[in-house]
Amino acid sequence: MANIAPPAPAPDSTAEIRARATVPYLPGLDGLRAIAVVAVIFYHANHTWLKGGFLGVEVFFVISGYLITLLLLAESTRNGRIDLREFWLRRARRLLPALWTLLVGVTVYVSIFRRSELGNLRGEVVAGFTYVTNWFQIHTGSSYFSNFGYVPLRHLWSLAVEEQFYLLWPLLMLVVTKVGRRRLPLVGLFFFLSSVGIAVLCAWIYRTGPIDDVTQTPGQYFSFLGRDVSRIDFAYLSTVTRMGGLFIGAALAVWWRPWSVARARIANRGAALDIVGLIGLAGLGVMMWRFQNVVAGTEEGVRGYDLLYRGGFFLVGLASIAVIAAVTHPTAVLGRVVLGNRVFVWVGQRSYGLYLYHWAIFQFSRKLAGNELTMPQFLGLMAITLVITELSYRLIETPVRKGGFSRWLRSWRGAETPERRRHRQRMAATAVLVAGLPIFAVVNLSTAKVRLDDISQSLVDAEQSTTDLLTRPVDTTAPAVSTTVAGGPTSVAPPTTLPAVKIDVLAIGDSVMLGAAPELSKYGITVDAKKSRPFKAALEIVNYVKSIGALGDEVVVHLGTNSGTTAETMDAIFTALAEVPKVVVLTNAVPDHKWEEGNNSLIRALPDKFPNVTVLDWKLLVDPHPEWVYDDGTHLRPKGQVAYTEAVMAALGRPLVPVPTTTSTTTTTTIGAGG
């Protein structure tokens, strides 16, 4: 007997469509929010635990794009219009109370416990309050990826992207809803292609390769509103490049409306949607586990993770809409049972507060953004985060969202009675207390002085005591000198026009040595040290100094703070230094960074192959003396700068006798000028 397809359902009347156009509570979306926020929290606690945990933010963007578009479509279908004022009021009630609580709380805390940071905090607070944190970070160059600095509000960049979306999207949807139901699939296609276009734009803006300041890697910057801005910061933080997730979520909302899905034939295909959702979840899990950090130290220096900016965000969006389609399907198990379980729903309902508060609480404890948490520290701080989040959810966010705060204000009115009088007194006392904290915060914030953080200031102060050997003037008509670097023969700059002076002691380093440069230079050491310098850079410096005949009898090398290296690179560097009678190499002290152990193993093995190398085990020296270093456990406080210099001088076998200032200055100037 032939199979006969069931007849297509009769078209619904306009009244029926309007009656069904509601967005039910979807517990699976809260479950997906829970996964996203937990991934972000683990990443923020310790990058090594979940290297791609930052992708949870992109999942949030997709959910927001889907849900906000769905709500606006439902309202337009029911009422024939979108009430912009009511939409924005709902968003304000949902988002502002917890945000303002965070801003006031952080400012009060910093005013009491870290007053020296208040001036630096002012811009972040204003940017957070006005939802422009992402553009503030791009414009000021306060890189999202810097490990330095006390930045308890850095994470507000993603909320800024979403709020800018909430402001503009209803206006676009006003236009979209005028096209009619039959054209909505084309609107969905437009949104999807917009997401594809944003992915292409992000890939075009991004540049592969090492990232340093604009003078060293100008290709990694472009002019934006009159300033040189970092391409990778713009690609990661800007609303323009991060709208892809919001657009792809919006596309799904147009194509996959629950009130329409429930009446379509696919309503009985829950098992198929469960498979789609599981594939999406597996994809998210693999990407969060396998993707590398947003930026990472490599042999060539700090680099971005190419895959992320060349389609990675779009892949996360595809996986996310697969999961959302499953958890919003009326008969699929994934949303109702798996992601919709009570624990996931509880976390998901509080995901906004968890995201807001966790980063600030982590920063209160670890001081600097780059310091990784241990598991005991993480568990203790998460307990505090959960308590604060729950109090905020119950006492601030939910009452405001449900109108409880308005009812409390109206309770002032009424006939004068003893009980009413006591109630008004309690209200007045509460108002004074609540108002007092913001007033205290604003007064302190507005009068604070802006200053660099201690680490950055120490490095800026030290730069005048260094020499950049590679920027010395040269005679461009002189023949190049052939030498060997890792990867084969190459040519280096020709010799200077004047005979070079032999450098008595040449010290090559990165930001740790840079901090000690003022102390080292007191003893006649010529310091060429820069922030973020990789090991490989030493080879170019050594070959250049050899080519102009300025390499002396003693060299000090301290690199590896920012990235790992290889045995091949080490061999190339110290082969080039094989004719130097004495070479001192310092080990790395970079707590919680995976390359520390690998670098130190290579360094400690050098004397076996290169007899002229002496290892100064700075790691062993500094570990018992945390007072020598700043909160990152790496960069040198004044005490550490002195101890570091004394250790270097002892390893060189030189007495601690300062060189007269005139001699030291002349030496530095001569080398720097090429004379």
* pLDDT confidence bin for 668, thresholds 50/70/90: very low
Could you tell me the sign of the dihedral formed by the alpha carbons of 91, 93, 94, 98, in that order? Answer: positive
Give the type of residue at 239: T
Tokens of 662: 């005139």
pLDDT for the residue 98: 94
pLDDT for the residue 498: 43
DSSP 393: I
* pLDDT confidence bin for 386, thresholds 50/70/90: very high
pLDDT for the residue 277: 95
Provide the mean pLDDT of the chain. Answer: 85
Contact 254, 184 (CB under 8 A): yes
**210 vs 651 pLDDT, higher one:** 651
pLDDT for the residue 624: 93
- What distance in Å separates the CA atoms of residue 404 and residue 425, rounded to the nearest whole number? 19
Q: Which of 43, 78, 47, 75 is nearest to 59 (CA)?
A: 43
* pLDDT confidence bin for 218, thresholds 50/70/90: confident
The DSSP secondary structure of 240-304, one letter per residue, reads HHH-HHHHHHHHHHHH--HHHHTTSGGGG-HHHHHHHHHHHHHHHHHHHHHSPPSEEEETTEEEE
CA angle, 505 then 463 then 623, to 5°: 75
H helix or E strand, kind and range, residue 537: helix 537-547
pLDDT of 287 > 50? The answer is yes
pLDDT of 552 > 60? The answer is yes
Q: What's the whole-number mean pLDDT along residues 591-615?
A: 89
* pLDDT confidence bin for 176, thresholds 50/70/90: confident
pLDDT of 618 > 50? The answer is yes
Residue located via tokens 């309050």: 129
pLDDT of 343 > 70? The answer is yes
In DSSP terms, 245 is beta-bridged to none
Number of H helices, E strands in the chain: 31, 11
Q: Where are the domains of the chain?
A: 23-401+420-447, 458-673
pLDDT single digits (tens) 445-489: 888 887 777 788 888 888 888 888 887 543 334 344 434 444 444
**Longest CA pairwise span in the chain (Å):** 107
* pLDDT confidence bin for 415, thresholds 50/70/90: low
Q: What's the whole-number mean pLDDT along residues 274-285?
A: 95
User: pTM (2 decimals)?
Assistant: 0.83
pLDDT of 427 > 80? The answer is no
Mean pLDDT is lowest, of 29-33, 62-66, 366-370, 385-389, for: 366-370
pLDDT single digits (tens) 192-206: 999 999 999 999 999
Q: Which of 336, 317, 326, 343 is nearest to 34 (CA)?
A: 343
Mean pLDDT is lowest, of 186-190, 327-331, 409-413, 438-442, for: 409-413
pLDDT for the residue 608: 92
pLDDT of 643 > 90? The answer is yes
Contact 424, 411 (CB under 8 A): no
Give domain 458-673's CATH superfamily: SGNH hydrolase (3.40.50.1110)
